[in-house]
Chains A and B, each alone.
Chain A
Amino acid sequence: DAGVIQSPRHEVTEMGQEVTLRCKPISGHNSLFWYRQTMMRGLELLIYFNNNVPIDDSGMPEDRFSAKMPNASFSTLKIQPSEPRDSAVYFCASSRTSGGETQYFGPGTRLLVL
């Protein structure tokens, strides 16, 4: 299995631009998680989906962030408009839905907003 795939791996953009991060979970996994990691705030859960349905988006910072999962093999995290404080590494992870299952992380997208 190819593991969780994220694209792009690096993104540099200017403040005010729209940014779209993409994730392909492991086949057969029906839970998908978006995390953000910064030095200041550590690892934060932004949102997660079960069977393509958003379950908990309480970690989404504000309305500038949105996430979708149109099907079982694809999810996007969008920031519009982007701000310098959004600079971080964004991880996608997937797992089976039952408690205790291992979450498998992608390699992350390193975002820099100038």
Chain B
Amino acid sequence: AQSVTQLDSQVPVFEEAPVELRCNYSSSVSVYLFWYVQYPNQGLQLLLKYLSGSTLVKGINGFEAEFNKSQTSFHLRKPSVHISDTAEYFCAVYTGGGNKLTFGTGTQLKVEL
């Protein structure tokens, strides 16, 4: 069964510093991978997704992620974070049965001045 692991529950970072949020997946078949962001008191919204093709995926708000099949990873990166990036970030994998997703436990990104 497909699953994702987000090892970091919290990541503090200073404004304008780079950040990487880690996600590893397990799957025996081809994968579709997603990153969603949840701002305080809101629902989740899509940042980016990998379906096929180029392994470097660019998303909204300057985020990007790289699909690495050999390391079964899909880490999210941003070269320079802003205070407004403070949010919880969820990695997810398509699990089949229509459009079912399995979400990771989330990583709380806290950007400080």
Bound CA–CA A31/B43 (angstroms): 17
Q: Is the interface of B mostly helix, strand, loop or mixed?
A: strand
Given A105-B44, A107-B42, A98 and B99 contact (CB-CB distance below 8 Å)? yes
Interface residues on chain A, number (Cβ under 8 Å)? 26
Chain A contacts for B67, CB-based, 8 A? none
Q: Which of A47-65 contact B (CB under 8 A)?
A: 48, 50, 55-56
Q: A108 to nearest B CB, angstroms?
A: 5
Complex-state Cα separation, A35 to B86, whole angstroms: 23
Let me know if A45 is at the binding interface, CB within 8 A. yes
Chain B positions 81 through 108: 1 when the CB is less than 8 Å from some CB of chain A, otherwise 0: 0000000001000101111111101100
Number of interchain pairs (Cβ within 8 Å): 60
On chain A, the residues within 8 Å of B106 by CB distance are 42-43
A50, A95, A97, A103: which has the most chain B beta carbons within 10 Å? Answer: A103
Q: CA A56 – CA B98 in complex, angstroms?
A: 10
Tier of interface size on chain B = 20 to 34
For B46, the chain A residues whose CB sits under 8 A away are 102-103
With contacts A42-B105, A42-B106, A43-B106 taken as known, whether A101 is within 8 angstroms of B44 at the C-beta atoms is no
With A100-B49, A102-B46: A31-B98 Cβ-Cβ less than 8 Å: yes
B98 in complex: contacting residue of A97, A104, A107, CB < 8 Å: A97
